[in-house]
Chains A and B, each alone.
Chain A
Amino acid sequence: MSTSPDNILEISDVEVVYDSVIAALHDVSLAVPRGKIVALLGGNGAGKSTTLKAISTMLASERGKVTRGAITYDGVAVKNQTPAEMVGHGLVQVLEGRRCFGHLTVEENIIAGAYSRKLSKADIKAELEKVYGYFKRLRERRKSQAGYTSGGEQQMVAVARAMMAKPKMLLLDEPSMGLAPQLVAEIFNIVQELNKKEGVSILLAEQNTNVALRNADYGYIIETGHVMLHGAADELMNDDKVKELYLGISKEGRKNFRDVLREESASHADLHHH
C-alpha cells in the first residue's frame, strides 16, 4: 500500500503483540482521510484500543509492540516516538474511560492539555475561551474538582483537554461509554463541530455502532485483531450483516443492541479464548 498525502493516517498490515506473546492485532490496515471522521467498530477485546495505542505510541508503556506492518501519520513513519512527541506533531489520543485528573479542577485539567505548547498566560486564556465555546457546560463547572463531576462532564473534560494541544488528529476511544443517550448525542454534536470548524481529523473507536456510524464518514469493523469489513458509513448502516450483528435493528432497534453485542462477544470468547 503506497501512502497518499490525502490521508492523514495510514496503517498497513499491522500486527501488535503484548508481553512478547499475546497477539492482539493480526493484520489491521486502515486509512483516515484528512478532515474526515472514521469509525473503528468492534466488540470487547476486538483490538480497537490496541490500534489507537499503536498509533499514539502509548503501547510502549503497556508492554505492547508493533511487530509487523507500518503506521504513517501525516507523512511520518510512526516508530519509536514517545507519546509526547506525537502530541507535538498534533496527534492526541483521548483514552478509554475518560481518565480525568480527579484532584485537579476542570479548568486545570483543560489547561494541562496545553502542556506541550509554549503559550503565554494570555494565549492560554484565549484558547480556554475557545474551548469553552464548544464545551459550554464546562465553563460553569470550571472551578469544580474534576473527580466530582458527572461522567458526561468528565468525557467532555477529556476531549476539551485534548483540544488544548491543538491537534490535527484526535483518536477517541469509546467516548459514549456508560453515558445516557442524550449525553452521547451532546458529545457527538461537539465532536462533529470540532471536525467541521477546527478541521480535526478523527479516528473514533466505538462499541456503539449506531451512533458511531451516524457520525462518521467511513467505518471499519474489527474482530479479534482482524478487519472484517469496511466501507462508507451509510453503506455499512445498510449492510445486512452489520444490521444483524452490530445494529440489532432486525425488530426492536436499540433495545436489542446490547444483547447482540453481548452474545457476539460471548461466542468470541468460546471460539478464540478457549
Chain B
Amino acid sequence: MTEILFFIEVVVAGLLAGTMYSLVALGFVLIYKASSTFNFAQGAMVFFAVLSFVGFMELGLPFVLAFFVTILLMGVVGFFTERLVLQPLMNESEDTVLMATIGLGFVLEGLAQAAWGVEVRRLDLGIGDFPIPWIIESTGLFISALDLTAGLVAATMIIGLALLFKYTKMGLGLRAVADDPGAASSIGIPLPSIMLMVWTAAGVVALVAGMMWGARAGVQFALVDLALKALPVLIIGGFSSIPGAIVGGLIIGASEKVLEVYVGPFFGGGIEVWAPFVLAIFFLLWRPEGLFGEKIIRRV
C-alpha cells in the first residue's frame, strides 16, 4: 500500500514538474509556429528573464513591480530581436535564422551576466518546498507546496494563452501567420507586430518558468540547460503543436521522475538530467513527427 502511495507521489510530483516543461515548450512552439524556426535562445531567455527579475528586486523594486518591469524588458528584447535579427533575415533560409537564435542566446547570456553578475541568487517566492498538511491528511500523499504552485501557475498560463489565441484578434493573426505568412501579409496582417507579440509571450513564459525553477534551485546559469529539456518535450509532442507541448511536458515530467526513483539507483542516480533525451531518441525512431506533429522534423 505504501509502495503504491509512494509511486503515486512520484508520478504526481513528476506531472507537476512537467507542467513547467510544457510551459517552456509552449514558448518554443509559439515561435516555431510564427516563424518556422527553433528558438535556441529560449533557455537563455529563461536565465536572462529571471536574473533580471532578481536584479530588479535587489535594486529595491517590490515584487509585483519587478515582475512587470521584467515583462516590459522581455518585450523590448522581443522588439530588438524582431528588428535586428528576424527582419534582416526575413528572406534567408530557416537554418540561417536558427543559427541567429543560437547567437541571440549567447548575447542574452552575456548581457544578463554583465548586468547582474555571475553568482547564484536565491529567490524566495514565500512558498516552501515542503509537503502540504491537508493533502497528507486527506490522501496520505506528500505533495510539495512549491510543486503544486508551479503546476497551477503553469496550467493557468497555458489555459490563458490558449484562450488568447482562440478568441482575440491578435490570436487570430498569429494562427493565420502560423498557417501561411505570405497569405497573412497579403490581407494586411503586419508580420512584425505578430512576431513582437510571440516573442514577448515567449519572454513571459521564460520569466515564469525561471521564477519557479529559480525558487527551488537558485537563480543560476544551469537554468539554461534545464530549459533545454523542452527539446525532448517537443520531440515527443511535435514542434508545431500546442497540445503536443502540453502532453509532451507531462510525459517527460512524470517519466523522468519515475525513472530517477526506480531505475536511477542502478546508475548511481542523477539520470533525470539525461533520461528525457534518451527517451526522446527512442521516440524519434518510433514516431519522428511527434505525437501531435504534422511535419517531419528536419533540423534537430
A contact set with B: CB distance below 8 Å:
56, 58, 61-63, 82-84, 86-88, 92-95, 99-104, 108-109, 111-113, 115-116, 158, 161-162, 164-165
For the complex, what is the distance from the CA of A82 to the CA of B186, rounded to whole Å? 10
Interface pair A112/B190, CB less than 8 Å apart? no
Q: Can you list 19 A-B contacts with CB-CB less than 8 angstroms, sorted by A residue number?
A: A61-B91, A61-B182, A63-B91, A84-B190, A87-B186, A87-B187, A87-B188, A88-B188, A99-B180, A101-B176, A102-B180, A103-B179, A104-B176, A112-B172, A112-B187, A113-B187, A115-B188, A162-B186, A162-B187
Residues of A within 8 A of B182 (CB): 58, 61, 95, 99
The reply to whether A115 and B183 form a contact with Cβ atoms under 8 Å apart is: no
Alpha-carbon distance between A109 and B179 when the two chains are bound, in angstroms = 11
* A92 close to B185 (CB less than 8 A): no
Q: Considering residues B90, B169, B186, which has the most beta carbons from chain A within 10 angstroms of its beta carbon?
A: B186
Q: Measured between alpha carbons, how far is A95 from B186 in the docked complex, in Å?
A: 8
15 additional contacts (CB under 8 A) given A115-B169, A162-B186: A58-B186, A61-B185, A62-B91, A84-B188, A95-B182, A95-B183, A99-B186, A100-B180, A101-B179, A102-B180, A111-B172, A112-B176, A112-B189, A115-B188, A165-B187
Answer whether A115 and B186 are a contact pair too, CB < 8 Å, given A61-B91, A101-B179, A101-B180. Answer: no
Which residues of chain A are within 8 angstroms of B183 by Cβ–Cβ distance?
Answer: 95, 99-101, 158
For the complex of A and B, the 5 pairs showing the least CB-CB separation, nearest first, are A87-B188, A116-B188, A99-B183, A101-B179, A84-B190
Does any Cβ of A come within 8 Å of B77's Cβ?
Answer: no
**B interface vs A, CB < 8 Å?**
90-91, 169, 172-173, 175-176, 178-180, 182-190
The residue on A at minimum CB distance from B173 is A115
How far does the Cβ of B264 sit from chain A's closest Cβ, in whole Å? 41
Q: Are B186 and A104 in contact (CB under 8 A)?
A: no
- Tell me which residues across on chain A come within 8 A of B179, comparing CB atoms: 101-104
CB-CB under 8 A from A56, the residues of chain B are 186
If A104-B175, A108-B172 touch, whether A115 touches B187 (CB-CB below 8 Å) is yes
B177 to chain A, nearest CB (A): 9
Q: Which of A61, A95, A112, A162 has the most CB of B within 10 A?
A: A112
- Chain A residue contacts of B180, Cβ below 8 A: 99-102
Known: A61-B90, A101-B180. A84 touches B172 (CB 8 A): no
Report the nearest A residue to B183, measured CB to CB.
A99
Name which residue of chain B comes closest to A162, CB basis.
B187
CA distance A112 to B183 in the complex (A): 10
Find chain B residues with CB under 8 A from A162 CB: 186-187
Alpha-carbon gap, A92 to B179, bound state (A): 19
Specify which of B175, B185, B190 lies most central, judged by the most chain A CB atoms within 10 Å of its CB.
B185
Q: Quick one: closest B residue to A103, CB to CB? A: B179
- Taking CB as reference atom, which chain B residue is nearest A113? B187
